[in-house]
Amino acid sequence: MSFVNGLELRKFVAPEFIFGVGARRLAGQYAKNFGAKRVLLVTDSGVLGTTIFGDVVNTLEGLGISYEIFSDVSENPREQEVMDGANIYIQEKCEAIIAVGGGSPIDCAKGIGIVASNGGHILDYEGVDNVTLPIPPLVCIPTTSGASADVSQFAIITDTSNQVKIAIVSKTVVPDVALIDPQTLLTLSPYLTACTCMDAFTHAIEAYVSNASSPITDLHALEAIRYIYHNLSDTVATPQDITLRGKTMYGSLQAGLAFSNAILGAVHAMAHSLGGFLDLPHGECNAILLPRVIEYNYDAAPTRYNDIANAIGIRTDNIDNEQIKQQLIESIETLKSSVGLNRRLSELGVKKEDIPHLARKASLDPCLHTNPRKANIKDIEVIYEKAL
């Protein structure tokens, strides 16, 4: 972005965050700092029985803070789960929320906070800046290096009746503090590691080429691209290496700071449609769609994509844009293969006859507004078909 463009008005929001081994053990202290005597712990069944969750509980008990646990959260959190959690928060007279998990529990916790403070139904708040009142104090402890919901102003909730994911974008859902601890990643499977990191990688790329990017978000996006691309394969191969885990978590943090403020693009708009319609894994959908969207977008932002190519180590001097585009796409495909993400949409259960419905839903997603190239329903259908 030129210096002149850098003078355009841009808003940047971020929570307080603590990064490093052992950060999760500060949960109780932060709850106490917020004056909470009773908190709602939001997690999912996969995290509930882990020592990571136990450590968080211990910090609360050690400070005499009581708690209620809500763990009925799906992989793609649903509107009814949010409403159930909000009812428990209100009935139990909780005063703060602590979310422990990946993007799903954290997004659900944000939704619970919205309803607890503002009333109504969670689907009433779809879109940008539709949440009026601040949510209760929210502490987030991410256990994946992907969603970055712990630092973002996004909450993604599945509207089951319309079979689509909705995006709620509001400064009010930025957590009060994120406790980002690489040790929480050590039990992640290779598949979840690959999926969540490819989600973060996509966050960074879409933020960098977004038409709402800025010099500030650019710094975070390029840093994320470098850290994730150069460390993901080794992390999947040696999952107990805490240094590598720290690098991918750092990359995810940087990606979150970028996309929360520059927003996203067509990859996420299309992945949200897939997740809402067929309840598919978000990170893998992003990984499948990313090369095809780059292919579609490249001519609208060649300089931006060339910067990304440089960040992952492609020499862009003395070769033309078409060659750079192909090398960038091939490098991403190679990265995906190295971590076992080789499937196509058809292998996830998507059928050709599903595409018109998926494209219509994607065309309404707010992430599409910041894609560098305008895409109509027919354009989106073609991209889906190429990924099928």
Token output for 136: 């209760």
Nearest in space to 143 (alpha carbons), one of 71, 70, 196:
196
Nearest in space to 257 (alpha carbons), one of 152, 104, 128:
152
Q: Average pLDDT for residues 350-362, to the nearest whole number?
A: 96
Which pLDDT score is estimated for 1?
A: 42
Which pLDDT score is estimated for 279?
A: 87
Per-residue confidence at 10, pLDDT binned at 50, 70, 90? confident
DSSP 136: P
- Could you give the C-alpha distances from 189 to 268, 283, 338, in angstroms and in order? 23, 14, 15
Helix, strand, coil share (%) of the chain residues, nearest 5: 60, 10, 30
Per-residue confidence at 205, pLDDT binned at 50, 70, 90? very high
Residue 155, classed as helix, strand or coil, is strand
Q: Does position 3 have pLDDT exceeding 80, yes or no?
A: no
Q: How far apart, in whole angstroms, are the C-alpha atoms of residue 107 and residue 125?
A: 13
Q: How far apart, in whole angstroms, are the C-alpha atoms of residue 214 and residue 93?
A: 42
Look at the chain and count its residues.
388
pLDDT tens for 184-196 read 999 899 999 999 9
Cβ(201)–Cβ(177) below 8 Å: no
Domain architecture of the chain: domains with CATH: 16-185 (3.40.50.1970), 190-387 (1.20.1090.10)
Residue that is written with structure tokens 């933020």 in the block: 207
How far from each other are the two terminal CA atoms of the chain, in whole angstroms?
34
Cβ(371)–Cβ(265) below 8 Å: yes
Cβ(80)–Cβ(24) below 8 Å: no
Q: Does position 375 have pLDDT exceeding 60, yes or no?
A: yes
Q: Average pLDDT for residues 98-111, to the nearest whole number?
A: 97
